Amino acid sequence: MRTTLKRGIGRGADLNGNGHAVLPPGVLTPIALYRQPPRGGRSIGRRLAGFFFWLLVLVAMVAGGAAGGLYLYGHDFAAATAPHSKALKRAAEHLDYVAPDKPAIALVLGTDHRYVDGKAPGRSDTMMLIRTDPSNHTVSLLSFPRDMRVAIHCPGRSVWYDKINAAYPTCGPLGSLETVKALTNVPINYLISVNFLGFIQVVDKLGGVYMDVDRRYFNNHRGPTGYAGINLEAGYQRLSGKQALDFVRYRHTDSDLFRVVRQQEFVRAAKEQLGRYSNLQVTSLLGPIKRNVEVGRAGGSGVDLSTMLNYAGFFHSLPGGHFVQVKIQGLEGQSDLTTATQNVTNAVQQFMSPDPEAPQKANAAALKEKYKAKAQGINPKSIFVTVLNGNGITGSAAVAGTQLRQRNYQILQPPGSLRADSPDGWNHSRTRIFYDATEKNAKQAAKQVSKLFTDASTGPMTPRFQPYANGAELVVVVGKSYQGTLSGSSPSAPPPQHHPPHTTHDPGASLSLMRAIRRKLSFRVEYPTMIDSGSRVDPEPPNPRVYTVQGHKMARLVFTTGVNGQYWGIQEMNWGGAPALAEKNFVRHFGHRTFEFFYSGSNLHMVVLKENGATYWVVNTLDDALSPETMISIARGLRPLR
């Protein structure tokens, strides 16, 4: 690779793809949210929210020991989930094509269609984007609170502003698809529609799902003026389909924001249990799936067997901590939620560019360890790239070039007589990376750069593009599949910094409570001597709770931070085979004690102390409000009762 910079116009300026300088390159597509007058409420039946992800979870479960069953029943499975309604077939025609082995995005709609709806599509109270990236082995989730007020896009109608879930009953799945596309400006490759009745049936047929319930949930005030009933106690436990649905759609005493997080928690919990399902369990799901699930892909067709197998293997082999839950920050309001445009933009960027090294960086900062980045591929500083506009969108080549430069690639410009436009026009649907076949490692460099773009292909540089290279090994022609962001995190992003733990030494906060239950448990009980500053023991009984799961006695102690919806806890048990313990990120030894860390992106969701033949969990709030330093301080402060 060359080691000297070539002719260009410097860091301070870029060409906008139409031959003109832009200082600095602008954002391609702004996003705007507006507040509108509130609409009237709706009946309890309308509030029955669906939840969806069990379809993808099911596919992943198959890889965990039931692959033979999928091969045997795969064609029936694909036929059962193919679009069969006119509405979804129509919507699938508006999906974006994605090449194999490239990042893919699915929009999942949880629907509630009842008999009284007739031919109306019902409601979609769950809307979530799921992105899988095989290049860095990550899955990212981005949920949209149903009360979030956005611009509704419905083909054939003028744009209006309403809650995001209004798109579905008004325009069907196509309305939801176009609304989310306009809001996020990301390509969507799959559309999955799931009825909430199917959610219950599938979870029950699989024998339930193990989840950590953060606190006591109870409501028996039902009817037209009430909320859906629920009766769950705190602690790690196995939930039935009805209980899981109650949990993920609950928002009676907190808000729609925490309901979104509970939905994502269900997804993570299901992912932890992929290997325990049998062929018989998987094949018994064909009936519920056929009645309640539709999956569309670009072109209007369903998902074929090979695609299902690819995603099954991907989900099953996903490393711990690579399941990133993205939240839209700054949402304000009660029945109507609004936020600044930049908060949506930031969430989309985090969703599109998850950092696979985020757990390592966050853990190093929390423990004051030196983070060492993994050396992968060719050093970008030795790769010279010229970027051309192949989609006709003003500024796209400049933005892509700036983003590549931020990742330390050397960006050149075409010779002065040539504009930074593709010589064969602006009709490139996919991004193309041409490499100089005479240069050593140029082909490998092209493959490396292609992983940064959605739906990009590589090939040797043709004579038509060689004059534009200006000596660069690579020429990138930005296609319409480029949406203004690159995959993966930028190495120029500032690393996380260490912060003091937000804890207080208060052994008396729960000492007497834990002493009162010690004789009910067969293992040694421990209590926290360090707690989050401002937190207190939750007064809702029973707390602590002693109960049995799978023949194992366990206890749960719940704390509240004082913020509505934020509860963290101490879970104690002697069940070493709990599914939640399967995907630790790191193990650290402090003295003679062993701790396991469980991250979700850069958030430390759980710390587990293993000693005396038992495990002692410190579980973060639903929204991971406690910092990694705080979580570690609480865990290290656990002490056995004397």
Tell me what pLDDT residue 343 has: 93
Q: Candidates 3.40.50.300, 3.30.420.40, 3.60.15.10, 3.30.200.100; correct CATH number of 503-640?
A: 3.30.200.100
The segments of the chain whose pLDDT lies below 70 read 1-80, 112-125, 222-227, 271-290, 300-302, 304-321, 375, 488-493
- Specify whether the CB–CB gap between 606 and 598 falls below 8 A: yes
Tell me what pLDDT residue 484 has: 83
Instruction: Output the CATH code of domain 54-205+284-355.
Output: 3.30.420.590
Sorted by sequence, the CB contacts under 8 Å of residue 352 that are 6+ apart come out as 131, 140, 186, 483, 485, 487
Sorted by sequence, the CB contacts under 8 Å of residue 88 that are 6+ apart come out as 173, 191, 193, 294, 296
In total, the chain counts a number of residues equal to 642
Cα angle at 640 between 235 and 599, to 5 degrees?
50
Pinpoint the residues of the chain covered by CATH 3.30.200.100: 503-640
R_g over Cα of the chain: 26
Tell me what pLDDT residue 194 has: 78
Residue 607's closest CA among 621, 617, 615, 622?
A: 617
Q: What is the pTM of this model?
A: 0.77
Q: Model confidence over 576-626: pLDDT tens digits?
A: 999 999 889 999 999 999 999 999 889 999 999 999 999 999 999 999 999
Pinpoint the residues of the chain covered by CATH 3.30.420.590: 54-205+284-355
Tell me what pLDDT residue 71 has: 41
Q: How far apart are CA 243 and CA 324, in angstroms?
A: 25
Tell me what pLDDT residue 78 has: 64
- Specify whether the CB–CB gap between 244 and 580 falls below 8 A: no
The H or E element spanning position 237 is: strand 235-239
Tell me what pLDDT residue 391 has: 94
DSSP character string of 25-89:
PPPS--------PPPP---TTTT-----THHHHHHHHHHTT-HHHHHHHHHHHHHHHS--SHHHH
